[in-house]
Copies of this chain bind each other. A is one copy, B any other.
Amino acid sequence: MTVSVVIVDDHDVIRVGVRESLDDDIDVVGEARDVESAVAEIRAKAPQVVILDVHLPGGTGGGALDVLAEVLHRPGAPRVLALSVSDAAEDVVATVRAGARGYVTKSISGPDLSDAVRRVATGDAVFSPRLAGFVLDAFGAAGGEVAAADEDLDKLTEREQEVMRLIARGYTYREVAEKLFISIKTVETHVGKVLHKLQLSNRHELAHWAAQRRIV
């Protein structure tokens, strides 16, 4: 069985590396280096699998998460295999929660990567050994419902998350307002709700909170 894939990574070197590492029975039908072209490429080529760099720059949700959000919630969606230099628990959990079917680090060998792509294509979930523990901790265990690491994050509405990210990066209320084309007062309202929902008391704690789960 031939598997079609699209490779999304902003690093030319890594895209080449992935492409050349894959076995002949895996057909690279497209590549992209940013959020916009990734979404377009995936819709156009409709691959079975997307190999997605977790640290993709751009977008409003941190790059890779934007791509996942755009691409997954429609019929015929591809399976997504996340590829990352990071093995931090937060990255893994956020990515998997966003819909990725697998998560491997760039330390993976070529044959193993090909194998992971094939397994994801058939519906398996694939995780590097040292990541499996994180996933099992974050899911299952509790008994069906997701005992997620960022159950907190889910409490926030989309708009609140958007504002939260900008605030966590150090933008002033005024700057956030300008970026999102809303008034300062609305930003204040959103921030207030975010702080309350996350049980934080000021923007410094928020920045720290966000940094810890690599949201920023």
Contacts and interface: CB of A to CB of B under 8 A. Distances in A.
A110 B13 contact: yes
Contact of A12 (B110, B203, B205): B110
Oligomeric state, in copies: 2
Nearest to A201: B170
A186 B202 CA distance: 23
Chain A: number of interface residues, binned into ranges: 20 to 34
Contacts of A13: 14, 17-18, 21, 106-110, 113
Contacts of A202: 170
A interface, over-half SS: helix
B211 A12 contact: no
Interface in A8-33: 10-18, 20-21
B205 A170 contact: yes
A204 interface: yes
23 contacts: A11-B107, A12-B21, A12-B109, A13-B17, A13-B18, A13-B107, A13-B108, A13-B109, A13-B110, A13-B113, A14-B14, A15-B17, A16-B16, A16-B17, A16-B20, A16-B21, A17-B18, A17-B20, A85-B85, A170-B204, A170-B205, A204-B207, A211-B211
